[in-house]
Chain A
Amino acid sequence: MPDFHMADLKDCSQARILIVDDDLVTRLTLEKTLANSGYCVTSKSNGREGLLFSRDYKPELVLLDVMMPEIDGFEICRRIREFSSYNEIKIIMLTGLNDVSSVDMAFDAGANDFITKPINWTLLVKRVAHALREREMYFKLVEDEAKLKQSQKIARLSYWEYDPKNDSITVSGEFCKKILNNRTVVSKEEFYDLVKDEDRGEIKSAFSDVCLNGGKYHRDCRIMDCSGNELIYQHQGEAIEDVDGLLINIIGTLQDITNEHHAAALIEYQKYYDELTNLPNKQYLYEELDKYIISIKESELMAILFVGVDRFKLINTSFGYKTGDEILKLVASRLHNVISGHGIVSRFSGDTFSIVINKIQNIDQLEAMIDDVLSTTKSVFEVDHENHYLSSSIGVVVYPLENASSETLLSYAEDAMSQAKSTGGNHYVYHSPEMNAAAKKNQTLNNLLRQGLETDRFELFYQPQIELSTGKCIGSEALIRMYDENNNIISPVEFIPVAEETGLIVELGYWIIEAVCKQINLWESMGMHGLRTGINLSARQFKDKSLISHIDRYVSAYEIPIECIDLEITESIAMDNLDQTLSVLNGFKDLGYTISMDDFGTGYSSLSSLQKMPIDILKIDRAFIKDIRANGENGEIARAILAMGRALNMRTIAEGAESNEHIEFLEANQCDEVQGFYYSPPLKIDKFNEFYAKHNSDPAHNIKTSGYKL
């Protein structure tokens, strides 16, 4: 059994050597020689003890004499090999020089090396050292390999090698288990087929390129595993070539980067989206805004809104952050719904959101959307059965009215929002003073329009229409005017678009119709019989199905001749929906109303469509009259329209006639009537009545000298 040497062996950091020899002298010599070389040495005088020691203490090296009583060296060697590998216990056998066959027997029995007797001691020490170094290197290699395997496993890394001779690919590592159902060799085609259809082409071409031209490639691709899950692999390959540049093989790696990829996707998401509201974040907004700025069309506007919830801190301090967060989520989703499809809503920070609205046609459209944003934040927020009432302040920047970088535009909008907050909240403020002035004006107009209908802020002016052949005033066009608080006249060019936008135009339209009917009734009673009066119909009115019944009601109420009502529609309204136009106009015509086509020549009506419409009067747009110079120069279009009117049996009225040349031209080309400053601007009712009296009571009145001069 193990003897006194064991204590030494356990503590020994050096290699442990066992000597088994029955000759005391040889044994001692070996023992001392090797001990002096720094090894931990144990010796046994017989095979049985040597075997037991080897089994129990696994020395790194055994020096084994061949010829021994009881069990010989070969037998001991064989038995050691039963429990220890070739590399675990190195065995060197001591054989006689004249005994060549025993060398073969030693190797057959599992020895690593042999030393012949008589022993060359210098050589012995070197042989022992060599065997031990070999053993150490082997274990280092085993350890390195294990470490490598482990790190490959951790890195989910597998290797592959393409052999061009048989066109096959050998794969090692976990890829075999996960993807190949434990196969290790696949054909090139099979290898390609593992890759998802969408990625296959790229891998294939990268691989072929490396086959032909050498070099390396690096691609990410999706591969299905044995259980049908999609994994993402980083696929790398590199050509190995001989000295002549001929392909030997291609070696590469496959690394499962699915987790990293998902993490990267999450990081990417977090880079551009807000976790709480799932809205895009500031970063996303900046980048998109830059794209919008580049791609915006000349006729379009883009608005940047900075929306801040008013006094939001109060919610957090009174109800806690959880409630605050819930409300922010609701605000986010409401803003998203309001803007939906018109731009981007993003959470800028805390309780501020920024909105980019693109493809805006006009400011009215923008302001309608801003109003929607204001009112959506005013609606009650219910969180945990508790109602919360909020409002918001909005800062607005309109691009390219204000032209700056995306960052500057946002900071402008933020400044404007702060201003909105500091002036009480629940409203919007433009960054630009001009825009604010315009918005304020719009707001004032809107208020004036609303009040105007109740407080006599409107007045109708009448512009005379003179028949050229008689010089008499046979008609007029009613034109609306509005007064501000200081009784200054506001042009319809300013307030009509606001009325159109707000829908007040319909009410205003009825007011005009009633006022005209009342006036015709008065004229009739004053003896000004049959005076035809033009009323402009807006697009919105024209589409209003109750328009006919409304007009009819006034016409009957004021008992006026129906043909005195001259309904004027513009060419562009008429052409917008021809079928509808025909049906509405025919309805009016059947009842006996006069119908005029206003601003004729500026739209795109075809001769055939014009022929179908029941038009009584063509009003030639002022643009064609304005061009006419002395001797009728530049009057071709006016001349053509006049000829066409005659051909279609329509009366013609020239608008905008201002000079003698105009009148001469119009007379020469048989224009029926003229409306323009040459005779008169639009007049208040008293002045109009005076004008009428002057022109219609004196049959000899010379029209050419009575012209109104500018």
Chain B
Amino acid sequence: MSDEIIYIDMGTVSMLMDALEDEYFEIIEIFISTSRERIAEMVSKSSASTEDLLDVVHVLKGSSGNVGAIHLSNVCNELESMLRSGSVDGIDSMIQDIEVSFDVTCKVFQEIINGKYNA
């Protein structure tokens, strides 16, 4: 993964940090834990119905976008579009991409929480 890939939209992060202050970190922790569960659900449902997978990926797209995890949100969006178009090839690979993106996102958020990105 290149450094040019932007996982977190720092504009959104700073907006939220301004608005929420310390509560922002709580929300990020909740985001990480719920997203982890959702990704696990996706992995388990990858062979199940498209409908179920679609619901999960839509919510993950939404919540990641809203907290500023734009890379994860974009990958989710690609999968959602794929699922809506009815294509089934490459779903597993997309889910793996989501897992990878999530891991990196988690690390970046962790660094933000640790103060690395604090201004």
Contact = CB atoms under 8 A, between A and B. Distances in A.
A binds B: yes
Contacts of A226: none
Nearest to A24: B34
Most buried by B among A32, A69, A118, A122: A118
Contact of A121 (B12, B34, B59): B12
Interface string A1-34: 0000000000000000000001111101100110
A668 B74 CA distance: 157
A26 B19 contact: no
A140 B58 CA distance: 41
A455 interface: no
Contacts of B12: 118, 120-121
A125 interface: yes
Nearest to A34: B19
Interface stretch (B60-68, B89-97, B106-114): B60-68
Contact of A119 (B27, B66, B70): B66
A25 B20 CA distance: 13
Interface in B46-70: 55, 58-59, 62-63, 65-68, 70
A179 interface: no
Contacts of B77: 98
A26 B31 CA distance: 9
Interface residues of B, number: 24
A550 interface: no
Contact of A32 (B20, B58, B62): B20
B30 A121 contact: no
A684 interface: no
Interface string A120-134: 111001000000000
A96 B9 CA distance: 17
B62 A26 contact: yes
B65 A23 contact: no
Interface in A231-247: none
Contact of A33 (B9, B20, B68): B20
Contacts of A67: 58, 62
B65 A117 contact: yes
Main secondary structure of the interface of B (DSSP, over half): helix
Interface in B1-48: 9, 12, 15-16, 19-20, 23, 27, 30-31, 34-35
Interface in A556-587: none
B62 A23 contact: yes
A117 B66 contact: yes
B27 A118 contact: no
A120 B18 CA distance: 13
A29 to B, nearest CB: 6
A317 interface: no
B27 A32 contact: yes
B61 to A, nearest CB: 8
A36 interface: yes
A464 B108 CA distance: 160
Contacts of A121: 12, 15-16, 19
Contacts of B19: 32-33, 36-37, 121, 125
Given A23-B59, A36-B20, A28 B66 contact: no
B105 interface: no
A125 B20 CA distance: 13
Nearest to B81: A98
A675 B1 CA distance: 164
Contact of B65 (A32, A65, A118): A118
B101 interface: no
A65 B66 CA distance: 13
A22 B66 CA distance: 13
Interface string A37-65: 10000000000000000000000000001
A125 B77 CA distance: 25
Interface string B66-87: 1110100100010000000000
Nearest to B65: A118
Interface string A681-696: 0000000000000000
Contacts of A119: 65-66
Contacts of B55: 69
Contact of A25 (B9, B15, B58, B63): B63
Contacts of B35: 25
Nearest to A37: B19
Nearest to A118: B65
Contacts of B65: 117-119
B66 A118 contact: yes
Contacts of A98: 77
Contact of B20 (A23, A29, A65, A120): A29
Most buried by A among B55, B66, B70: B66
Given A24-B34, A29-B67, A32-B27, A117 B62 contact: yes
Contacts of B59: 22-23
A114 to B, nearest CB: 15
A348 to B, nearest CB: 86
A649 B22 CA distance: 148
A361 to B, nearest CB: 105
Nearest to A116: B65
A122 B58 contact: no
A490 to B, nearest CB: 123
Contact of B23 (A26, A32, A125): A32
A300 to B, nearest CB: 99
A175 to B, nearest CB: 55
Contacts of A36: 19-20
A84 B9 CA distance: 38
Contacts of B20: 29, 32-33, 36
Contacts of B30: 24-25, 28
A25 B31 CA distance: 6
A420 B68 CA distance: 112
CB-CB nearest 7 A-B residue pairs? A118-B65, A25-B63, A121-B15, A33-B19, A25-B31, A23-B63, A26-B66
17 contacts: A24-B63, A25-B35, A25-B66, A25-B67, A26-B66, A29-B16, A29-B27, A33-B19, A36-B20, A65-B62, A117-B66, A118-B12, A118-B66, A118-B70, A119-B65, A120-B12, A122-B15
Given A24-B63, A65-B62, 15 more contacts: A22-B59, A23-B66, A25-B27, A25-B31, A25-B35, A26-B63, A29-B16, A29-B67, A32-B19, A32-B20, A33-B16, A37-B19, A118-B9, A118-B12, A119-B65
